[in-house]
Amino acid sequence: MTKGQLNRSQYGDDVATYYLRFSDISFAEIEPAYHAICHGIAEDADLLALIGAHPQEAQQPNIILAAARYLLLSGIDHELAAVFGHDAKQSSANPFPLFKDLVMSHEEEFTTLIATRRTQTNEVGRSGCIAASFQYLSHRPVNRHATVATNGEGKRPLAWIDLGASAGLNLLLDHFRINYRTEAATRSLGPSDASVVVNTDAVGLPDFDGLPLPSISWRVGVDRAPINVVDQAEARWLEACVWPSNVARADRLRSALALAQLHEPSMITADAVAGLGQAIEQAPVNAELVITTTWVWFYLPDDVRTALIELMRTAGRPVRWVSLEAAGVVSGFDLGDLPPGKTLTFSSVLGLHSFDGFGHQSAEMLGWSHPHGDWINWKKPMPV
């Protein structure tokens, strides 16, 4: 999902201002081609008119840029491929004129994409944050209202709902090899021969090297337009949403998609509120219910956020909500200072809200993380 820290209204109501501010926040430091294209769009009457003719949710810069990448990944032969094509070769050419030429010469395909697609990165690098949170949850005391049985080691199985799951790739995290790289050593979770390997630079994380992940007895993803992992066009959109400089991320995504074709995730196709309600009803009562959102809350209107929290608050059973979102997007956390050398633009808050199911809740900040899980700075001691 986008790395920007502001919602659309804070960027500016007109498309030009939106693109200028968004690109300066999100692209200037690490994605110069996207930055140049967005600035070019802001000064181009033709593209402003084309983009402005669509609803606000279709005007999001990541969607516009992903649509262009999708056309290139589909096999269109165009000079822009040398700037941000499949192999991410760099070019000294000004990317904006090439971008405009591609869009205007394939306007019908382009407008169909932005009218029907939404940002769906399904970043598997975030699985390192999710897995660490699950380890933390597995050591927490059982809620007094819970009817959850523990396994022979005293750990409780999890019933997991991933809200805004896209293709559901992170639901397969127990098939991944997750390496937490510290200054002293690398601590790992998951099978050593995994086809998907996630590397996360870690500070402050408890030592669970060699320990298994908590048992996940049931899992489901919720998305209003889930990606079908066996559909090449759908998978291509996921790859198109990866920024062009992130070659390693694109390679890892392809490995995760291949894994998902062997272990197809269970998905509920519905909007956030209806889908979460269905999932909570389906979740087995003999497991601890955990809900995850990773760069999803940012995109939800306030009324939807309120309805989702009410579902969790009144579920009639304990619910844990693990969120990885931009600072300030999810409330209730004492953020403290950023980790040394990190900036707010490229830092996310890993947090935990605990609901007893009967109207009471609490919030804990677990740590800071890169929005894509490249690093994690853990804050909470592991419960004994």
What pLDDT score does 383 carry? 64
Spans of all domains in the chain: 8-116, 124-378
Task: State the DSSP H helix or E strand holding residue 262, giving kind and residue range, or none if neither.
Answer: helix 247-262
What pLDDT score does 63 carry? 95
What pLDDT score does 128 carry? 96
Instruction: Give the count of alpha carbons within 13 A of 284, CB side only.
Output: 15
Measure the CA–CA gap between 113 and 111, rounded to whole angstroms: 5
Task: State the DSSP H helix or E strand holding residue 189, giving kind and residue range, or none if neither.
Answer: strand 186-189
What pLDDT score does 359 carry? 84
The Cα diameter of the chain in Å comes to: 66
Say if residues 168 and 267 touch (Cβ distance below 8 Å). Answer: yes
Low-confidence ranges of the chain (pLDDT < 50): 1-8, 86, 88, 144-152
Say if residues 349 and 338 touch (Cβ distance below 8 Å). Answer: no
What pLDDT score does 119 carry? 80
Burial of 277 (0-12, 13-18, 19+ CB in 10 A): middle
Encoded tokens for 281: 């009803």
What pLDDT score does 127 carry? 97
User: Which phi and psi (to 5°) does residue 153 adopt?
Assistant: -95, 5
In this structure, which long-range contacts are made by residues 174-179, counting pairs with CB atoms below 8 Å and at least 24 apart in sequence?
174/213, 174/216, 175/259, 175/263, 176/124, 176/127, 176/256, 178/127, 178/128, 178/131
Closest CA to 160 of 267, 289, 280, 271: 289
Alpha helix segments (H runs only) across 27-94: 32-42, 45-52, 61-73, 81-84
Question: What average pLDDT is seen over the chain?
Answer: 89
What pLDDT score does 39 carry? 97
What pLDDT score does 12 carry? 53
Encoded tokens for 206: 């408890």
Q: What is the pLDDT of residues 80-136, one digit of tens each?
A: 998 875 454 566 789 999 999 999 999 999 999 999 998 877 899 999 999 999 999
Measure the CA–CA gap between 284 and 263, rounded to whole angstroms: 21
Measure the CA–CA gap between 5 and 19, rounded to whole angstroms: 14
User: Which phi and psi (to 5°) does residue 172 adopt?
Assistant: -100, 20
Q: Exposed e or buried b for every residue in 246-260, given b needs 16+ CB within 10 A?
A: beebbebbebbbebb
What pLDDT score does 88 carry? 45
Q: Cβ of 148: how many Cβ atoms within 10 Å?
A: 19
What pLDDT score does 173 carry? 97
Cα of first residue to Cα of last residue in the chain, in angstroms, is 35
